[in-house]
Amino acid sequence: MTQAPPVPTPPPAPDAPDLSEGWGEQRSRLRKDLRRLDVLFFLICTLVGLDTIGSVAAQGPQGITWMAILALVFFLPYGLLVAELGSAFPVQGGPYVWTRLAFGRLVAGVNQLLYWISNPVWVGGSLCIIALTTWEEFFTPLPGFWKYAAGLIFIWGGALAVVQSVRIGKWVPIAGAVARIVLLGFFLVSVVIFALEHGVHTLPAGEFVPTYAGFVALVPVLIFNYVGFELPSSAAEEMKNPRRDIPLSILRSGLAAVLLYGGPILGILFVLPGKEIGSLGGFIDACKAVFTVYGGSIAADGTVTLTGLGSVFGAVAAAGLIIGLLTSGVTWAMGAHRAQAVACADGAGPAWLGHISEKHGTPVRVNILSAVLASILFVVALNLTDGNGEKYFAAGLGLTICTTFISYVVIFPSLVVLRRKYPNQPRPYAVPGGRLGTWIVAALATGLVAFTVVVLIWPGFGVGWFGTDGNAADSLPASFAGQRAEYTLSQVLPLLLFVGIGLLFYASGRKARAAQRARGESDREDVLTGE
């Protein structure tokens, strides 16, 4: 009896783009040290931003309403979108790889530059100014030289954390997540105690009614606090099981983010009179006010003085807030810098920036360059605004969000394109609803970030049109009142500069691309080869 011929073993499922020979060498230096719980803490630290709580509270109770609406029409679709992309293409570089496979290297390279450079803009901008403001409110003033020194310590302290190996560096987002949970939880407990002793400000039901003017003012900061799901995918090849851990972590962190973000906003509204809530100091001022229940007083003019245990708790909370801000920047940097290194190793940027440290397993050169850029931005912006913290904060935060969201306008549609181009790619999780569901999810996420870019560049877009209430000029940040041209230039000129840098980065990678073409690799589709 003749033996039946053996059944041929099917080729391995394609799961890793072979981006280039250069990245293949760098990939061998990565270390798989991220577990599911690490990814969850990573996402909580990313999603729960402490720098924009005051900005939302400053818009009054309708901020809560819009937060709930956007949770359904943006946060949920966005989470579904990233869960599919992250589990179907679990490759180091995440967003860069998705757009590379969908739209080619030129588009992906310039887009990745925008995604990456928003991090030093954020760290050297709004994060730094809130950290300094918190220090001055709770500890001691920082006159002249000391403000610059403190800002640079904040920036380079974060850079030191980012360069560490993932085994060490993952403790930064863990510490940041714990600091958020403890700080925001203690704040809410203190609000309850404050309410029992002093009562709270009533919030009329009519103030929760959403308006278009409120939407235009709130959509940038609310959506900004709802983004970051894709960041762990930038370190996918450092995870133990990215196909399983990414979707589960997105679900859990999304629920935690809504609770941790919404509670403090309500607390601020209950404690502070609406007219006294500022975008920069709203959360800081609310903390000081509620901590008077442990020791201190509030004068008739609203001045808060903390004493005894109130002063101690205030100092601890201030330290926790500064740690939370620092870890936000570090956690985003851990993802964005890795994606930029992959892009550079792939020929979409200077090859030397694609180097992964053999000692740390991290893109040290990209990390250092980011810290340098953040330092330059911090010093220049502080001088251009003459030390005006509110003005510096508004311009820096607007530019950070705008730059990030322009990159999302390209990243999100890649879901639809990759479904079409690679229909047989294993998808442990897929957006429900088939092709229609995919289009709806991508359209909602892309449309909202695109609209946000418009209202960031031109605050008040559509306000007062077609007989609607409101004045577009009122949508300008308070620190730029009557200065629309100055504000718009603060956004447009840097954006044009960043796009130019992206094109220069791409041009600098021509040798790597030529080498790949000589090996017969496609500039668009050297894509999925099982490793």
Say which CATH number the domain at 198 has: 1.20.1740.10
Percent of all residues in the chain with a pLDDT value above 90, rounded to a whole number: 19
Is 377 domain-assigned?
Answer: yes
Structure tokens belonging to residue 270: 């209950």
Is the model more confident about 68 or about 114?
114
Is 238 domain-assigned?
Answer: yes
Tally the domains of the chain.
1
Is 152 domain-assigned?
Answer: yes
Record the pTM: 0.83
| pLDDT tens digits, one per residue of 323-375 | 888 888 888 888 899 899 989 988 898 988 888 878 877 888 999 999 999 99
Q: Where are the beta strands (DSSP E) in 3-101?
A: none
Enumerate the β-bridge partners of residue 34.
Answer: 239
Q: Is the pLDDT of residue 211 over 70?
A: yes
Enter the DSSP assignment of 356. Answer: -
For 351, residues 6+ apart whose C-beta sits below 8 A from its C-beta are: 22, 344, 345, 508, 509, 511, 512
Q: Is the pLDDT of residue 103 over 90?
A: yes
Is 62 domain-assigned?
Answer: yes
Structure tokens belonging to residue 257: 């983010």
Give the range of the structural domain holding residue 154, as residue numbers without chain letter: 21-515
Is the model more confident about 458 or about 529?
458
Q: Which residue has the tokens 């047989």?
A: 424
Is 6 domain-assigned?
Answer: no
Is 522 domain-assigned?
Answer: no
Is 525 domain-assigned?
Answer: no
Q: Is the pLDDT of residue 473 over 50?
A: yes
Structure tokens belonging to residue 122: 């954020």
Is 425 domain-assigned?
Answer: yes
